[in-house]
Structures are given as C-alpha cells and as structure tokens.
Chains A and B, each alone.
Chain A
Amino acid sequence: MNMELSRRGFLKVAGVGVAGTSLGAFGFGDLEAAQAAAIRPFKLVNTMETRNTCPYCSVACGIIMYSKGDLRKGENAEIVHIEGDADHPTNRGTLCPKGAALKDFVKAETRLKYPMLRKPGSDKFERISWDQALDRIARLMKDDRDANFIAANNAGVPVNRWTTVGFLAASATTNETAYLTYKVVRSTGIVAFDNQARV
C-alpha cells in the first residue's frame, strides 16, 4: 500500500483500533462496529499470518499468507488470502497481477492431489498409492541403470555415467530441495541433468 499519510493525517483518517489497546485513545466503543452496517467486516480478523516469498519471478517479493487454522499447532490450515509484506525491502507490500492472485494458484482446481499412473497406450490416468508409485520408480531406475550404466570408457578410465535416464529439475523449488535433488541424482551417475535456467 502506498499510504502516503502524514502522521497527523493518518490518525485522523484511519483511527485504527485494536480492541482493548489503542482503541480507547480514539474514543471509539464497540457500538461503532455494529453500526458500520454498510462496511464489510474486515476479513482477515482471526487469521494466522505466515511469511513466505512469491514463487514466480526472481524479484522474490515478500508475502504474507493468511490462513484459517495454524500449522504450527498441528492444525489443518487453509489459506484464505495472500497479500504483499509491507516490511519487505524489495516489494514494500506491493505485488504484481500474478503475485496478487497467489491464493488462486494455491487453490487452483488443477492442483494435483494423488499419484497417478498412465499405462502404456492407455487413454487415462489411474490413481495409485505413493508406495506403488515409488516402488515402481525405483524398480524402473534400477533396471535401466543396471542395463545401461557406463562404468568405464574404452581406456579403462572410470566414468560412472548413466546416459539413458535424465532428470529435469525445477525452477521454484528451494535451495534445500535443489541440494537434496543434486545428491540423489548425481549419486546415480545421471548426466542428463538440467534445470529451467537452461532455457
């Protein structure tokens, strides 16, 4: 928000009252809330705030996610609103049209919920369990690596190279996930390893 108010002006205009504290200073009582029939109730009341950064471009704007429910208490948390973080030095609370609509990315109808399998030639995905999916992946990897791994070149130099399977890494995962991905992928000898920075 670009609230370019002088201190004097701010107090006059805003008169924000946090119940029980500064409220008294402005001389307002609870009665006012009831009278403000025309005004929508402020929708962030009683939400939990969590600080995050926008996952889209590399400006990495600070955001605050407002949720019903608190993950920190082990509760389910549903994000009900996302807004720019006014304390962030880069974006100062602002967001672009993508960032301002992040809530609808989090809650997109096409968010994936379950592991799915498409069998060869099939025209549909079928739901499978995580165990089925992961065991299958490990099996496919192992069989291909065992068959195609190049341990040494013609000169006998160890080259530890696996070229028949590739891994395309993401553009928005954390550094920590990136590092873990690096460890897992490199340890197999995969060389067709790239990320979105390439393109």
Chain B
Amino acid sequence: MEPSPHTAQSNPPVSNVVSNLSERDLVRRSASTIPPPARQLEPVAKLIDVSKCIGCKACQSACIEWNDTSPAIETNVGVYENPHDLTPEMFTLMRFTEWDNPQTGNLEWLIRKDGCMHCEDPGCLKACPAPGAIVQYSNGIVDFVHENCIGCGYCVKGCPFDIPRISKVDHKAYKCTLCSDRVAVGQGPACAKACPTHAISFGTKEDMNKLADSRIKDLKSRGYDNAGLYDPQGVGGTHVMYVLHHNDQPEIYANLPRDPRISPVVNAWKGMAKYVGFAAMGLAAAAGILHSAFVGPNRVTREDEEKAENLVKDNA
C-alpha cells in the first residue's frame, strides 16, 4: 500500500511566532545594492500539477480569505473565469481553455492557475525603479513592499508573465506573495493548503522537482508522451512550476509563454541604473525611457530587441 498522501505537517500556529524571513535573507532589492546574505535558505517552490487540477477555484477563494482582499463581483461574459483577469485584489486566477487535441480527436479542458511565478531572475524587480519596492529572498520568494512602491507600473512591463496589477485605489502594485507571511512561520501558501486534489504542492524546490518527476512518469504511463515540467530557464527557473500534460505546447494553456525572458530593455536599463545610478540618471528620465520602450505586457519581440540595442547605444 502506498503511503498516505502528504498533507499539511501541522495546523497554523496561534501562539506568538517568530518570522523566519527577514531583511537579512534578501538577495535582491529593487534599485538598490545590498550585500549578499550571510545564510542561504533552502529554495522553495510551488508545484502546480495541471493534470490534477479540477479548476474549482479553491485557490482563489483561499487567496482572497488569507490576504483579506475584496475583488469586485463582476458579470458572466460567457466564460468560467471570474474575476475576468488578475486584479489588485485577485492575486491568482484559474484560466480555462477548451482544447481539441488534434492527435486524439478528444476535447481537453485545460485549466491553469495563473499568478506570480516567483522567477529566479525576476523581471519585475529588475524593472522597478523604486528602491526596495520589490525584494527577493534567498528562498526564492519575490515580494512587493508596498510602502516603497511608487505605482509606476514598470513591474508590470518587466514581467514576462503579465502578473502585477496596479491598484486604482492606492496606486500600488499587487501580486501573489507566495504567502510570505505563512512561509515565514513554516506554513505553505493558502492556495496550496486549500487545494482539494493536491494539484498545488509546496515545499523545497528539490522536493518539488522529485514530485514532478513522479507525476510526469504517471502521465506518460497514461499516454501523455510530452508531459513535462515547466520551469523556464529564460528567467533562471521559477519558484512556481507547472506539470503540464503537453509540455511541448505551453501556449495552449491560456498563453503560457513558451520561452519567457526578461525584456532586453529591462536588462539594458538595469545595467544603466547599476552603473549610472538613479540620482545621476533621474527617476523621471529613467521612467520616460522605460515607458517608451514598452507598449504592453512583456512579450519579447524583435522590436524590443532593437529598442534595447538603441537604448544601450544612446546611453552608452
């Protein structure tokens, strides 16, 4: 008999607890230079097994409740997605795709939980001009520090996955924190705890890789020859990964990018900021450059590559 499924190790603490994530665990801080941390936390990851996901939206529900957000009650526009998109009040969203598999002739209902991927190489953080508004911890969590956020929206532009959303109320950027407050006290994210079918798991990235391997093996045994792990290397890998039944075609899962990369514009700008510094360049100037460089959510195009080259040339 197989062992019982892994579940929560314990219920959340209610007595006074001490956070185990702090400033000293930061490896990156937007628009800032910080010393390397003295200790390295074990990298964590959330693994989303799309093949086990039933699209129930428990993750959305748990996310709203844990983070005390208030998404608007919208309308039905002919699809199951609600809210219709990620919002400053909805950090995660089930995206539904009805896909006719051309090989089998069968319909597949592909349901992907969208949200921050917690990139190892985070485009949002690199694009952010506000010192300390976006931070990355040594366990991989990319978190927004709202008191430092200036609401410029460059994190949105810098994100290869189109995740952050700017609040119209307080003009600050919001996204999934990977429940950093829970992880800091040894709990997994609220969505992972709630997920009824264990489609969302949370643990060390090493363990999640192992779990993914076993899931991929199972899927291959069921005829999904192209099952695989989505851990895109263009952004240095991610701390939110997917098991996909059709890993050869990530784009069928509501446009999951095949090869996400940080825009070269961001990288170029980042380089400048590093050498020239904000003070010298001027925030407004930097903002202007970035603003002109982006037209929409980040998808790297040939045009972007050219813009980046120009940017580097012009400012060299």
Whether B8 lies near A32 (C-beta < 8 A) is no
Task: Name the one of B18, B42, B181 contacting A9, with C-beta atoms under 8 angstroms.
Answer: B42
Tell me whether A19 is interfacial, beta carbon within 8 Å: yes
Whether A40 lies near B181 (C-beta < 8 A) is yes
Q: Hey, what's the 0/1 contact readout for B1-35 against A, CB within 8 Å counting as 1? A: 00001111111111111111111100000000000
Which A residue's beta carbon lies closest to that of B54? A96
Tell me whether A64 is interfacial, beta carbon within 8 Å: yes
Per DSSP, are chain A's interface residues mostly helix, strand or loop, or mixed?
loop
Q: Known contacts A17-B20, A83-B11; is A2 also within 8 Å of B61 by CB? A: no
Tell me whether A147 is interfacial, beta carbon within 8 Å: no
Interface members, chain A 108-161 (any B CB < 8 Å): none
By a CB distance below 8 angstroms, the chain B residues around A35 are 22-24
User: What is the minimal beta-carbon distance from A11 to any residue of chain B, in angstroms?
Assistant: 9
Tell me whether B202 is interfacial, beta carbon within 8 Å: yes
User: What is the minimal beta-carbon distance from A189 to any residue of chain B, in angstroms?
Assistant: 45
Tell me whether A166 is interfacial, beta carbon within 8 Å: no
Interface members, chain B 137-163 (any A CB < 8 Å): 139, 143, 145
Tell me whether A75 is interfacial, beta carbon within 8 Å: no
A17 to B294, CA, bound (A): 44
Tell me whether A168 is interfacial, beta carbon within 8 Å: no
Interface residues on B, range: 35 or more
By a CB distance below 8 angstroms, the chain A residues around B198 are 2, 94
Interface members, chain B 180-202 (any A CB < 8 Å): 180-190, 192-196, 198, 200-202
A33 to B21, CA, bound (A): 8
User: What is the minimal beta-carbon distance from B78 to any residue of chain A, in angstroms?
Assistant: 20
Whether B21 lies near A93 (C-beta < 8 A) is no
User: What is the minimal beta-carbon distance from A85 to any residue of chain B, in angstroms?
Assistant: 7
Tell me whether A45 is interfacial, beta carbon within 8 Å: yes
Whether B202 lies near A2 (C-beta < 8 A) is yes
By a CB distance below 8 angstroms, the chain A residues around B12 are 42, 44, 83
Interface members, chain A 17-68 (any B CB < 8 Å): 17-19, 23, 26, 28, 30, 32-33, 35-49, 64, 66
Tell me whether B203 is interfacial, beta carbon within 8 Å: yes
Tell me whether B58 is interfacial, beta carbon within 8 Å: yes
Tell me whether B41 is interfacial, beta carbon within 8 Å: yes
Interface segment out of the listed B205-213, B282-290, B301-309: B205-213
Q: Known contacts A5-B204, A9-B206, A18-B13; is A94 also within 8 Å of B18 by CB? A: no
Tell me whether B252 is interfacial, beta carbon within 8 Å: no
Whether B193 lies near A96 (C-beta < 8 A) is no
User: What is the minimal beta-carbon distance from A167 to any residue of chain B, in angstroms?
Assistant: 34
Tell me whether B113 is interfacial, beta carbon within 8 Å: no
A32 to B56, CA, bound (A): 38
User: What is the minimal beta-carbon distance from A42 to any residue of chain B, in angstroms?
Assistant: 5
Tell me whether A97 is interfacial, beta carbon within 8 Å: yes
Which A residue's beta carbon lies closest to that of B143? A38
Interface members, chain B 189-245 (any A CB < 8 Å): 189-190, 192-196, 198, 200-204, 206-208, 211
Q: Hey, what's the 0/1 contact readout for B42-71 against A, CB within 8 Å counting as 1? A: 101000000000001110111011100000
A84 to B14, CA, bound (A): 15
Whether B204 lies near A100 (C-beta < 8 A) is no
By a CB distance below 8 angstroms, the chain B residues around A100 are 58, 61-62, 65, 194
Q: Known contacts A14-B20, A16-B185; is A94 also within 8 Å of B194 by CB? A: yes
What count of chain A residues pass the 8 Å CB interface test? Answer: 59
Whether B204 lies near A32 (C-beta < 8 A) is no
Whether B202 lies near A42 (C-beta < 8 A) is no
By a CB distance below 8 angstroms, the chain A residues around B86 are none
Whether B65 lies near A4 (C-beta < 8 A) is no
Q: Known contacts A37-B145, A81-B65; is A5 also within 8 Å of B17 by CB? A: no
Whether B135 lies near A38 (C-beta < 8 A) is yes
Whether A39 lies near B16 (C-beta < 8 A) is no
By a CB distance below 8 angstroms, the chain A residues around B143 are 38-39
Whether A95 lies near B196 (C-beta < 8 A) is yes
A85 to B23, CA, bound (A): 32
Tell me whether A92 is interfacial, beta carbon within 8 Å: yes
CB<8 Å pairs between A and B, sample of 28: A1-B7, A1-B192, A2-B8, A3-B202, A4-B6, A6-B203, A9-B203, A10-B186, A14-B186, A18-B13, A18-B15, A30-B18, A33-B18, A35-B24, A38-B145, A38-B180, A43-B181, A44-B13, A44-B14, A49-B14, A81-B66, A86-B7, A93-B11, A96-B56, A98-B61, A100-B62, A100-B194, A101-B64
* Chain A residues within 8 Å of B, Cβ to Cβ: 1-6, 9-10, 12-19, 23, 26, 28, 30, 32-33, 35-49, 64, 66, 81-87, 91-101, 103-104
**Beyond known contacts A10-B186, A42-B184, A47-B14: 9 more, CB 8 A cutoff:** A6-B207, A14-B187, A38-B135, A39-B19, A40-B181, A41-B181, A49-B14, A83-B11, A92-B8
